[in-house]
Structure 1
Amino acid sequence: MPGTVLLLAASPLGRGRLVDAAGVLPVLAAVAPAVLSGTDTANVVELADPLEPQAVLTRLRAAAAAPGPLTLYLTGQLHLDRRQHRLHLGLARTTPATVRYTALPWQWIREELRLRSAADTALVLDLHADPEAWRHLTERGLDCGPHTAVYGRVAPGAGRRRPAEPVYMKTVATLLRSGHRPALDVLHQQALSRVPEETRGNLLLAHAGGYAPGFSTAGGFVPVPLPGAGGPVEGLPPAPPVPGPRLAESAVGPRGAGAAPGSRGADPHVAISDAVQGGRHGEADSVAARYEQEAVRAYGAGSEQALHWSEVRADLAMFAGDPVRSCRAWLAVAETRLGAGQAVDAPAVEAAVDRAHHQWARIKDTARARELGPALARLRLSVPGRRSGALENVQRQLGRLQAAQ
């Protein structure tokens, strides 16, 4: 099965540029696609200094939905949204005052990859962070999700008169031009050994997926917080504390039937991903539904554990080509989050309403669209989202549907 490679190099134009991100693309482009992917053949998508977050999201979503292994080579710089204190990847038009509207929320990357498994999903990163983002990272880490292998570095971007060079990614690309791609952990160590001075004091990310990602600096290992582990995961509120041996379960939902207490069996996300890629959509939804029911019984319907599986099922309905079921599920997720007291501009709430809107627009059955439209319009009144005119779009389309009765 062919792999997919997304080469994304992005940084703001002008004085806000911390790193010459696009400068790495010619070196990466000289590597054979199969070597970039680690598969026999691969499709490569290249994005150089993109302008619009939604355009990047569209390409990312398509890459994440493609069958087979996925590798993202991401070079750029991180900024902190001063209002919500969320990490964003700066794009060409990003300025400190417009991060919320012109940069790509890091949460979007995490969300688009969450249905994939670490066995076939990898991020290779060379990032620089502005001072506010750097402080955030040193306190909380960089959350790439539990189901993605991550290798690379984040460097502080302060105190430079000219944009820095993405030396880590250029070194990775140079190593790959030999025509051989070793295991990513080996490739990561080889790259670091070639540029020890340039990466001194950086945050070094190296984990093969699972449920305890972390990063290291010259001072040692620093854990990235997980739900219930004493700190919030980026973009999600803290879950209730989960005692020691059950920590791993809290990230994926309750144990499957028959699992020994305190043990974590096979990752259900892997089975779900395999079923989707094989076209067995009913089987995938059945697995997710079972975990959703167990999470509701164990933690409650409004818990992050249960909501995770509700969101998985909403995405599975999308993959199955059922926008009615997907829209209905995303509406329910948004209403549950708001009912639990989450803010109208919380990323998880905005994402749920945006996805409900996206799926509603794909519904061909006018009766079903009329049925779901009022609920979406009510949500849009309180959750307008980042794109201007979203509420007006729903109201206008709903008016057309009602006039057609």
Structure 2
Amino acid sequence: MPGTVLLIAASPAGKGCLVDAASVLPVLAAVAPSVLSGTDTANVVELADPLQPQAVLTRLRAAATAPGPLTVFLTGQLQLDRRQRRPHLALARTTPATVRYTGFPWHWIREELRLRAPGSTTLLVDLHTDAETWQHLAGQPLTGGAGVALYGRVAPPPPRRAMAVPTYMKSLATILRSGHRPPLAQLHQQALTRSYGEDPDSARRDLVLAVEPRYRAGVPMPAPATVHGYAAAPAPAPMPASAPVPGPAPYLAAVPMPAAPPVTVPPVTVPPPVPTPAPAPAPADPHAEITAAVQSGRHAEAAVLAEQWERTALRTYGPGADEVVHWMEVRADLAMFAGDAELSCRIWLAVADARLTAGQPSDAPAVEAAVDRAHHQWGRIGDSARARELGPALADLRGRVPGRRQGALDDIRRNLSRLGTQVSP
């Protein structure tokens, strides 16, 4: 299956620029697409100094929904927005005062990648920061999501009036130009060694990122109680890679009993031991199976699978667990893909409520994303009665979770007024 490669180099124009991000693109472009991706063939998309967050989002979303492995090479600088203090990738028009509206939020990356099959996505990053963002990230490191491998480095601000060089990403590209792509951890270490050889001081300053996926490909959560109508025993928990592979159970050797004179004990024939049956193969990745069903138009089957996994997660981890909420989000997206805006809205409302009940703050990225998606799907409901039914609950939730869109609550009230429903201010 072909892979997808997304090359992103972003930095602000003018004096706010800390790193010459675009300088890495010619070096990466000289690498064969198959080597960049680690697959036989690959599609490569390049974004050089993008202007608008929506342009980056469109490219990332298209790459995230493509089948096969996805590798993102990301070079640029991070800045915090002043209101919610979240890291953003600074784009060409970003200034310290406009980060919230002109930068690309890092949590959007996690959101777009969260439904990909675990182990199929790699983020390779070379990021630079200003002093404020550097202090923030020292206590709250970047992550790519549960199923995403994240490798690279985050560098502190360069000396005043100096422009940093993305030496880590250039080292990656130089290694890959040989035509050989080592395993990710080895490639990462080689790039660090090479880049720090050019700038030894960086080795003492940088935050090095080397995060493996929480859920590995082929090792999902315990299998549902029923799959396609057949009973299935819960899958055993995966063993660590270093654990020995269990062999057949040991057999007891036949120990002859001492003969008690004058009685002669006749010989006893011991039947040969029966070999232990081979362990059942590991269950297939549920995300890949669901994705295949959606791509072939089998939306009902995809929804049933997701419901089974959600019930299993509920039995295994309990209400409100991350695993349960994850499968609720999957079901919400599946309803959207199937064109059922009402169901998608209902599930996103439930997701937001579950996250808030679990104690997540109203400005948490995942909470805001759930409410934004519920709002978006509500606007697509064609049945006025159904929209009136869900509107007050959405308005109440939007009152607690304003989100990044100014006037979102007013938009709901205007539409409910048009539908003939009054909402308390």
TM-score by length of 1: 0.78
Amino acid at match of 1:200: A
Tell me the equivalent position of 2:209.
205
1:350 aligns with 2:365: no
Give the Cα–Cα distance (whole angstroms) in 1 for the partners of residues 179 and 116 of structure 2: 27
Give the Cα–Cα distance (whole angstroms) in 1 for the partners of residues 64 and 50 of structure 2: 18
Give the Cα–Cα distance (whole angstroms) in 2 for the partners of residues 78 and 29 of structure 1: 23
1:33 aligns with 2:70: no
Instruction: Say which one has the larger Rg.
Output: 2
For structure 1, which runs of at least 5 residues remain unmatched after alignment?
213-248
Change (3 A) 1:283 1:163: farther
Give the Cα–Cα distance (whole angstroms) in 2 for the partners of residues 43 and 389 of structure 1: 39
Count, aligned residues:
365
- The offset of 1:108, in angstroms, is 1.4
Change (3 A) 1:402 1:7: farther
1:332 aligns with 2:336: no
Tell me the equivalent position of 2:320.
302
* Equivalent residues of 1:60, 1:112 under 8 A apart: yes
- Stretch deviating more after TM superposition (352-361 or 335-344): 335-344
Tell me the equivalent position of 2:268.
none
Amino acid at match of 2:207: L
Change (3 A) 1:194 1:158: closer
- The offset of 1:159, in angstroms, is 2.8
- The offset of 1:346, in angstroms, is 2.2
Aligned-CA RMSD value: 3.2
Match of 1:258 among 228, 234, 243: 234
Give the Cα–Cα distance (whole angstroms) in 2 for the partners of residues 72 and 267 of structure 1: 29
For structure 2, which runs of at least 5 residues remain unmatched after alignment?
225-232, 241-279
- The offset of 1:342, in angstroms, is 3.8
Residue aligned with 1:192, SS: helix
Tell me the equivalent position of 1:383.
401
Give the Cα–Cα distance (whole angstroms) in 1 for the partners of residues 371 and 348 of structure 2: 7
1:45 aligns with 2:49: no
- The offset of 1:399, in angstroms, is 5.3
* Equivalent residues of 2:7, 2:73 under 8 A apart: yes
Change (3 A) 1:190 1:274: farther
Deviations, residues 325-354 of structure 1 (Å, cap 9, x unaligned): 222211121233344554332222211011
Deviations, residues 228-247 of structure 1 (Å, cap 9, x unaligned): xxxxxxxxxxxxxxxxxxxx
Give the Cα–Cα distance (whole angstroms) in 1 for the partners of residues 59 and 419 of structure 2: 30
Give the Cα–Cα distance (whole angstroms) in 1 for the partners of residues 15 and 312 of structure 2: 52
Tell me the equivalent position of 1:144.
144
Give the Cα–Cα distance (whole angstroms) in 1 for the partners of residues 398 and 122 of structure 2: 35
Tell me the equivalent position of 1:271.
286
Deviations, residues 117-158 of structure 1 (Å, cap 9, x unaligned): 343211111111222322233333222112012222111124
- Stretch deviating more after TM superposition (134-143 or 335-344): 335-344
Tell me the equivalent position of 1:225.
none
- The offset of 1:43, in angstroms, is 2.4
Change (3 A) 1:132 1:121: same
- Stretch deviating more after TM superposition (64-73 or 109-118): 109-118
TM-score by length of 2: 0.74
- The offset of 1:300, in angstroms, is 4.4
Residue aligned with 1:359, SS: helix
Change (3 A) 1:75 1:260: same
User: How do 1:2-151 residues align onto structure 2 when only pairs under 5 Å count?
Assistant: 2-151=2-151
* Equivalent residues of 2:222, 2:237 under 8 A apart: no
- Stretch deviating more after TM superposition (52-61 or 291-300): 291-300
* Equivalent residues of 1:78, 1:128 under 8 A apart: yes
